[in-house]
Amino acid sequence: MTGSSKAFLGENETYALPGGQLRKSLAMVGRSLKAEPKIYTLAICSSALFGALTVGISRVIGWLTGDYIIPILEGSRNVRDIWIGALVLFLIVLGLAVSVAGRRIFAAYGTYGLQGHHRRALSHKFTTLAPSWHKQHSTGELLSNVSSDAEAATTVFNPMPYMLGSVVMFIVSGIMLVLVDPWLALAAFVILPIMIIANLFFQNYMTPAVTLSQELRGEVSNVAHESFEGATLVKALGSRDEEVRRFTRSTTALQNANARVGLIRAVFDPVIDALPSIGTLLVIAVGIMRLQSGDVTAGDVVTASYLLTLLSVPARSFGWVLADMPRSVVGYSRVADVVDLRSSLTPGNGVRTSGESSVRFDNVTYSVADEDQSVEIARGVSFTAPTGQTTVLMGRTGSGKTSLVSMIARLWDPTSGRVLIGQDDVRTLTRQELSDSVAFVSQGSFVFEDTVRANVTLTDLDDPRFGDEDVWEALRVAQLEVFVRDLPDGLDTRLGEQGSNLSGGQRQRLAIARAVIRKPSVLVLDDATSALDPQVEQAILAGIARSGATTVVMVAYRAATAILADRIVFLEDGRITGEGTHEQLLAALPTYADVVNAYDQEEIDG
């Protein structure tokens, strides 16, 4: 459980909200206020002060009118005496201003704090879920979770402190209204159940409309992300018009869904605003009858009308909260759907029991299940990559090479069998222990829009583990030192988005430096040298060998790579069909020769 999750949850409690709509709403409010208790206490107290001072103004105005204004108009009091009442009124108005500012500031801090909790919980979950889950969910969906869903989950908490603080105004105004005249109070209170019924109707219509809107936000984000990521492909194949139509369909659907949400609010908000005015008319009508019978004075009727106006403020604030509540519950639920997921890769709690860094596959089978069937990617694979040696996995596309080497870094686990580093099953190791032991470099090398230093260390500048000399040594091993020294700012040179100012080979070498600097026991290169010249690849592997007894497990296709290997494991359809050196396999395994020669011929033709 992450720190952000602990802020919301009790022991053995899930992120999801329990029960029906009302219970979900109450649970979300309770959890969120508990997550930011100090901020929301200050916000609610500021709002309560505002409510008390607003009600107090009615008494001050009445006091000023009776004790100062009327006597001054009648000539029985000096006009200069009014400064005392004016000073009191000024202090109350100043208190109102301070309370309004406090409420808004603290409510904003609380709202953004809650968004931070949700986003941290989501980002932590994203990093712990298996790659198979990420393959089934687009980047656009993930962006929608951390942006629009996290924001929607907190929409209701901007007006929430105002509503809770307005309870003070409601109670004080209600008591004063009863003290003025019980019948006038009864006329005023008649309107409240009507407002509650109107809110219930609104909830029934609003919840499904907001749910659809949030789902479509994620779809639009997904379509937009795909279009932006594939911009080069779209332009090259002339499919711009189709992409425009696809995006237009998604945005039109979202527009219609948002329009329905707006239409429902357009009906609800005027009703909530009109009901207090209707209540005021009812109070005046009852007041006139009471006035004619001599039971109340004209001042009582005016006071009651004013107090009803004050009562309408809390009523409206309840309306604002109830209007935003469905969207917040839907957003929170969409966040919970991700945060509550259980990863298929349960972390271990053990540490390495020996310094040995050999990698052993013990009868490993790996299956991928879809809706219709289960497909075996690897079947009964057993081999050992000895400590300090380079073992290369080769085979045709789809033979299971990437699936197997990914298990060393626990990107996924075998369906059966074991993968061991030394004597330790990788599934028994903690995440930190495994990441300290294994560095994985894929063919697609991601580059952050940051400095060279930050891209190699992936840490803050003040991290004591990696000094500049460590960075230069890693770049030296990766054959990138000369290039970086020629850059204008050296290690502080900022790289473009996704390494746009680097070649494919330079991006791969940067990724290798990123792995080497961590001095792992096992270095896994999943076709991570495919964009490099054989001479550069040879220099990198030699540098890795000189840097320590690192065990290297590679996926490769070229004969130049195979020649450098201490041992080659050849795979066909998920099974090992040959092991040995390059020369041994060339002589004994025709399919191996076919694969190596075909790839080299393809490079020559290219």
Domains annotated for the chain, with CATH where assigned, are 3-339 (1.20.1560.10), 359-605 (3.40.50.300)
pLDDT given at position 62: 64
d(CA 555, CA 401): 6
Is residue 304 within 8 Å of residue 177, measured between CB atoms? yes
Most confident of 141-150, 265-274, 332-341, 457-466: 332-341
Residue 20: how many other CB atoms lie within 10 Å: 8
d(CA 100, CA 111): 16
Return the structure tokens found at 170: 């409601």
- For the cut 90, the answer to whether the pLDDT of residue 369 exceeds it is no
pLDDT 10s digits, 191-225: 777 777 776 777 677 777 877 887 787 778 777 76
**Which residue is it, tokens 């409240």?**
192
61 or 260: which carries more pLDDT confidence? 260
Confidence of residue 461 (pLDDT cuts 50, 70, 90): low
- Any alpha helices (H) in 65-180, and if so which ranges? 70-74, 82-128, 131-136, 139-144, 150-152, 160-180
- For the cut 90, the answer to whether the pLDDT of residue 476 exceeds it is yes
The answer for residues whose C-beta is within 8 angstroms of residue 314's C-beta and 6 or more apart is 51, 163, 166, 167, 169, 170
**Which residues pair with residue 494 across a beta bridge?**
451
Is residue 333 within 8 Å of residue 349, measured between CB atoms? no
Q: Mean of the pLDDT values across residues 452-460? A: 86
Q: Mean of the pLDDT values across residues 90-117? A: 90
- For the cut 80, the answer to whether the pLDDT of residue 585 exceeds it is yes
Is residue 43 within 8 Å of residue 161, measured between CB atoms? yes
For residue 524, give the amino acid letter.
V
Return the structure tokens found at 186: 């009864």
Task: Give the predicted TM-score (pTM) of the model.
Answer: 0.70
Return the structure tokens found at 464: 């004591």
Return the structure tokens found at 314: 């809390």
d(CA 339, CA 329): 15
Return the structure tokens found at 5: 């999750």
Q: Mean of the pLDDT values across residues 340-361? A: 84
Q: What is the dihedral of CA 35, 38, 41, 42, to 10 degrees?
A: -140
Mean pLDDT for all residues in the chain: 83
Q: Which of 14, 29, 5 is nearest to 329 (CA)?
A: 29
pLDDT given at position 234: 66
**What is the chain's length?**
606
pLDDT given at position 240: 73
Return the structure tokens found at 411: 């990107």
- For the cut 50, the answer to whether the pLDDT of residue 604 exceeds it is no
- For the cut 70, the answer to whether the pLDDT of residue 53 exceeds it is yes
- For the cut 70, the answer to whether the pLDDT of residue 58 exceeds it is no
pLDDT 10s digits, 509-542: 999 999 999 889 999 999 888 888 888 988 988 8
The answer for residues whose C-beta is within 8 angstroms of residue 322's C-beta and 6 or more apart is 199, 202, 203
**Which residue is it, tokens 């109450």?**
26
Confidence of residue 580 (pLDDT cuts 50, 70, 90): very high
Confidence of residue 549 (pLDDT cuts 50, 70, 90): low
